[in-house]
Amino acid sequence: MSKAMTMSIIFRANSLNYGEGIGNISELKKFHRADGNVYTFASRQSIRYDIVRLGNEWFGWNLDTVDKTKGTLQFKENTSINDSVEMDLFGYLKTAKQSKKRPAVARLSHAVSMEPYRSDMEFLNNMGMAERIGETPNLANIEQHESLYAYTITIDMNRVGKDLDIELSPEEKTKRMHEFLDVIKLLNRNIRGRQESLAPLFVIGGVYDVANPFFLGRLMLNHDMKNWLIETDILKDTLDTTFGGSSIKDQTRIGYIKGVFENDGEIGSLCEAGNVESFFGHLKQGVSAYYADAGQ
Give tens-digit pLDDT for 84-121. 999 999 999 988 777 889 999 999 999 999 999 999 99
State the average pLDDT over residues 223-249. 92
The DSSP bridge pattern shows strands 139-143 and 25-26 to be parallel
Which pLDDT band, with edges at 50, 70 and 90, does 296 fall under? low
- Of 180, 172, 111, 115, nearest in space to 145 by CA: 115
Q: Alpha-carbon distance 9 to 154, whole Å?
A: 12
Q: Is 91 helix (H, G, I), strand (E, B) or coil?
A: coil
Q: What is the pLDDT of residue 173?
A: 98
What is each CA distance from 4 to 132, 251, 285, in whole angstroms? 58, 11, 13
Q: What is the pLDDT of residue 249?
A: 97
Q: Which amino acid is at 115?
A: E
pTM: 0.94
Count Cβ atoms below 10 Å from residue 163 Cβ, excluding itself.
Answer: 19
CB 208 within 8 A of CB 6: yes
What is each CA distance from 284 to 36, 80, 84, 158, 277, in whole angstroms? 41, 25, 21, 15, 11
